[in-house]
Amino acid sequence: LGEFQPLSNGVAGEIHAETDKILVIKNFKYDGKAPDAYFYAGTSGNPSSDGFLLEYPPGSKEPLGAFDGSQGDITFNLPGDIKVTDLAWISIWSEDLAIDFGNMY
């Protein structure tokens, strides 16, 4: 689908669609220094807390730690009726700071 456009904190990675309901991020990098960064996605607009949390690892609501690209693929099952083709953006989003560290539209 594309690559993260880095804005800060070393965000990088390739975003792939495994199926119409499964996203895979390869070679993900992030320095882990923000207090509350998460994977977020949205079906309209721009990266913001109006999107939805992509829990990583699944079932966790913990902020992201550091990634150097060697941790392996990160896989997400999209929630509800949302399909990959419905997505407008994917972001590394900080809830407390309301900052987008990197995104792909």
pLDDT (tens, 9 = 90+) of the chain, 105 residues, equals 999 999 999 999 999 999 999 999 999 999 999 989 999 999 999 999 999 999 999 999 999 999 999 999 999 999 999 999 999 999 999 988 999 999 999
Instruction: Answer yes or no: are the C-beta atoms of 25 and 69 closer than 8 Å.
Output: no
Beta bridge partners of 53: 40
- Strand, coil or helix: what is 16? strand
In the block, which residue shows the tokens 């990959």? 84
Count how many domains the chain has.
1
Residue 56 lies in domain: 5-104
How far apart (Å, rounded) are the C-alpha atoms in residues 55 and 34? 17
pTM for the model: 0.94
How far apart (Å, rounded) are the C-alpha atoms in residues 98 and 48? 7
